[in-house]
């Protein structure tokens, strides 16, 4: 049956999903992978993003029309392109959305549109397998979080990644009801039983969390619950998980997802800032040839494909230029200083630098700090 609609994916991009996409293989049939640059800083506003997506998909249309394939396959691919167009139109201007990664295999009922908070170049691939490497370059930028909310009879396990939060498991263990205790010995026995139940519950939650980590290896862990419960629970956690704890929250097991999402975003921001500081320290202590401070040196290093880590001040919106021949970035206009080619104007040259750095598998951190301001808001630690 033909696919009617392509919904925007709202969950966490899990290992499981990536594995599923990676395993799909249709010998003799073309699978469509499409990446769309949806960054408002590049296209002005939501309407600009829509137009850019449309133009990019029009090129794909023409490409599909020219392919030496059967008419049935051509119709399928054109239909898939139209569905991508629809979801891109709807998603344009969405908060934190800077690119869209779409994977279509209608014959198998597989169709994903993954919203991503990092910029990418628009491009499409028609191969027997999905092309996932541009997606991996984005996923590489942040770490998945595990989140365990626990109380004495319930627990919820979440994954958080790239601004999304998804509940993975819910656990409920019945605790013996509080009954009227006729004598002191009975009371003692009841308390002992209750303690045993709590420990069994915490043990089960801890084991489930370990299993989740094995399947979806999160780098950082947050635990949440009542203050008096958390230390008791923490003792049950496997050392692998205990060592990953980055925060403890006083929060109800029934806290709404929006609250968790907001708090996780704050936590992630703090962590990314700490990582940016570490990168800066490493940069400052590196030999001079591995340091690039300021746009001119960073753009050269990007052109030479030497950038390992890029630090960028957010929301700068400096205008700039990109060479139409060798893609070298420049602050000023005029012919390219590397190849003499003509240059095209870009409205946000630092955002362009981020896009280029990601495409080179560099790590990028947005960072607001005096030290970076002294480098005009951009610096890089080079690979060699
Ligand atoms: Zn050039």
Question: How much distance in Å is there from the Cα of 300 to the middle of ligand 1?
Answer: 11
pLDDT at 71 over 80: yes
Question: How much distance in Å is there from the Cα of 311 to the middle of ligand 1?
Answer: 24
Model confidence band, residue 336 (pLDDT cutoffs 50, 70, 90): very high
Per-chain mean pLDDT for the chain:
94
CA dihedral for 250, 256, 257, 259, sign (positive or negative): negative
Question: How much distance in Å is there from the Cα of 133 to the middle of ligand 1?
Answer: 26
Question: How much distance in Å is there from the Cα of 284 to the middle of ligand 1?
Answer: 30
Task: Look at residue 195 in the predicted model and tell me its pLDDT.
Answer: 84
Task: Look at residue 26 in the predicted model and tell me its pLDDT.
Answer: 87
Task: Look at residue 179 in the predicted model and tell me its pLDDT.
Answer: 66
Q: What gap in Å lies between CA 303 and CA 306, rounded to an integer?
A: 8
pLDDT at 382 over 80: yes
pLDDT at 99 over 90: yes
Question: How much distance in Å is there from the Cα of 56 to the middle of ligand 1?
Answer: 23
Residue of 12, 7, 268, 16 whose CA lies nearest to 164 = 12
CA dihedral for 344, 132, 105, 48, sign (positive or negative): negative
Question: How much distance in Å is there from the Cα of 356 to the middle of ligand 1?
Answer: 14
CATH 3.30.1330.30 fits 286-382, yes or no: yes
Residue 315, token pair as written in the block: 């929301």
Question: How much distance in Å is there from the Cα of 296 to the middle of ligand 1?
Answer: 14
Contacts of 338 (CB under 8 A, 6+ apart): 303, 323, 326, 328
Question: How much distance in Å is there from the Cα of 310 to the middle of ligand 1?
Answer: 21
Question: How much distance in Å is there from the Cα of 329 to the middle of ligand 1?
Answer: 8
Would you say how long the chain is, in residues?
A: 384
Q: What is the residue extent of each domain of the chain?
A: 15-139, 145-269, 286-382
pLDDT tens digits for range 345-362: 999 999 999 999 999 999
pLDDT at 1 over 70: no
Strands 220-225 and 320-323: unpaired
Distances (CA, A) of 195 to 103, 159, 174, 269: 50, 29, 13, 38
Contacts of 334 (CB under 8 A, 6+ apart): 343
How much is the average pLDDT of 260-286?
95
Question: How much distance in Å is there from the Cα of 305 to the middle of ligand 1?
Answer: 14
Task: Look at residue 201 in the predicted model and tell me its pLDDT.
Answer: 95
DSSP E strand stretches across 141-251: 145-150, 154-161, 164-172, 220-225, 245-250
Starting at the edge strand found earlier in the chain, the sheet holding 145-150 runs 164-172, 154-161, 145-150, 220-225, 245-250
DSSP E strand stretches across 173-260: 220-225, 245-250
Question: How much distance in Å is there from the Cα of 338 to the middle of ligand 1?
Answer: 5
Is 302 exposed, middle or buried (CB count within 10 Å of its CB: 0-12, 13-18, 19+)? buried
Model confidence band, residue 318 (pLDDT cutoffs 50, 70, 90): very high
Question: How much distance in Å is there from the Cα of 334 to the middle of ligand 1?
Answer: 11
Neighbours of 10 (CB within 10 A): 8
Question: How much distance in Å is there from the Cα of 235 to the middle of ligand 1?
Answer: 59
pLDDT at 364 over 70: yes
CATH class of domain segment(s) 15-139 = alpha beta
Question: How much distance in Å is there from the Cα of 123 to the middle of ligand 1?
Answer: 21
Q: What gap in Å lies between CA 2 and CA 253, rounded to an integer?
A: 41
Neighbours of 183 (CB within 10 A): 8
Strands 99-105 and 329-330: unpaired
Question: How much distance in Å is there from the Cα of 323 to the middle of ligand 1?
Answer: 5
Strands 99-105 and 31-37: antiparallel
Distances (CA, A) of 243 to 41, 64, 222, 247: 39, 51, 11, 11
Question: How much distance in Å is there from the Cα of 342 to the middle of ligand 1?
Answer: 7
Question: How much distance in Å is there from the Cα of 353 to the middle of ligand 1?
Answer: 15
Question: How much distance in Å is there from the Cα of 35 to the middle of ligand 1?
Answer: 25
Give the range among 75-79, 172-176, 251-255, 313-317 with minimum mean pLDDT.
Answer: 172-176
Question: How much distance in Å is there from the Cα of 239 to the middle of ligand 1?
Answer: 52
Question: How much distance in Å is there from the Cα of 343 to the middle of ligand 1?
Answer: 8
DSSP character at residue 183 = S
CA dihedral for 90, 92, 94, 100, sign (positive or negative): positive
Question: How much distance in Å is there from the Cα of 291 to the middle of ligand 1?
Answer: 23
Question: 3-state class of 109 per DSSP?
Answer: coil
pLDDT tens digits for range 18-58: 999 999 998 989 999 999 999 988 888 999 999 999 999 99
CATH 3.30.420.60 fits 145-269, yes or no: yes
Q: Which residues pair with 57 in a beta bridge?
A: none
pLDDT tens digits for range 164-194: 999 999 999 987 776 666 677 777 888 888 8
pLDDT tens digits for range 198-254: 899 999 999 999 999 999 999 999 999 999 999 999 999 999 999 999 999 999 999
Question: How much distance in Å is there from the Cα of 382 to the middle of ligand 1?
Answer: 21
């Amino acid at each position: 049956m033909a696919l009617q609609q392509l919904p925007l994916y709202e969950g966490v991009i899990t290992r499981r999903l990536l594995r599923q996409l990676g395993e799909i293989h249709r010998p003799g049939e073309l699978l469509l992978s499409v990446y769309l640059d949806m960054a408002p800083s590049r296209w002005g506003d939501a309407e600009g993003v829509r137009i850019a997506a449309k133009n990019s998909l029009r090129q794909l249309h023409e490409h599909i029309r020219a392919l030496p394939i059967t008419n049935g396959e051509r119709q399928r691919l054109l239909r898939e392109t139209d569905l991508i167009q629809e979801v891109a139109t709807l998603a344009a201007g969405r908060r934190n959305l800077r690119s869209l990664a779409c994977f279509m295999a209608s014959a198998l009922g597989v169709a994903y549109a993954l919203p991503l908070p990092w910029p990418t170049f628009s491009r499409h691939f028609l191969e027997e397998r999905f092309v996932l490497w541009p997606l991996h370059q984005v996923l590489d930028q942040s770490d998945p979080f595990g989140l365990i909310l626990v109380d004495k009879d319930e627990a919820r396990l979440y994954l958080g990644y790239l601004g999304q939060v998804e509940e993975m498991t819910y656990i409920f263990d019945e605790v013996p009801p509080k009954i009227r205790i006729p004598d002191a010995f009975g009371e003692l026995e009841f308390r002992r039983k209750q303690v045993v139940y709590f420990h069994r519950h915490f043990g089960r939650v801890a084991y489930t969390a370990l299993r989740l980590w094995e399947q979806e290896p999160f780098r950082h862990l947050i635990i949440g619950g009542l203050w008096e419960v958390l230390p008791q629970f923490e003792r049950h956690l496997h050392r692998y998980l205990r060592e990953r704890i980055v925060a403890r929250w006083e929060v109800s097991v029934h806290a709404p997802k929006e609250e968790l999402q907001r708090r996780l975003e704050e936590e992630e921001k703090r962590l990314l800032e700490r990582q940016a500081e570490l990168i800066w320290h490493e940069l400052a202590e590196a030999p001079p040839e591995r340091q690039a401070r300021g746009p001119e040196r960073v753009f050269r290093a990007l052109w030479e494909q030497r950038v390992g880590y890029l630090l960028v001040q957010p929301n700068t919106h400096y205008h700039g230029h990109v060479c139409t021949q060798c893609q070298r970035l420049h602050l000023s206009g005029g012919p390219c200083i590397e190849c003499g080619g003509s240059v095209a104007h870009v409205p946000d040259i630092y955002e362009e630098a981020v896009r280029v750095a990601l495409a080179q598998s560099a790590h990028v951190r947005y960072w607001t700090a005096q030290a970076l301001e002294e480098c005009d808001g951009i610096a890089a630690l080079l690979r060699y």
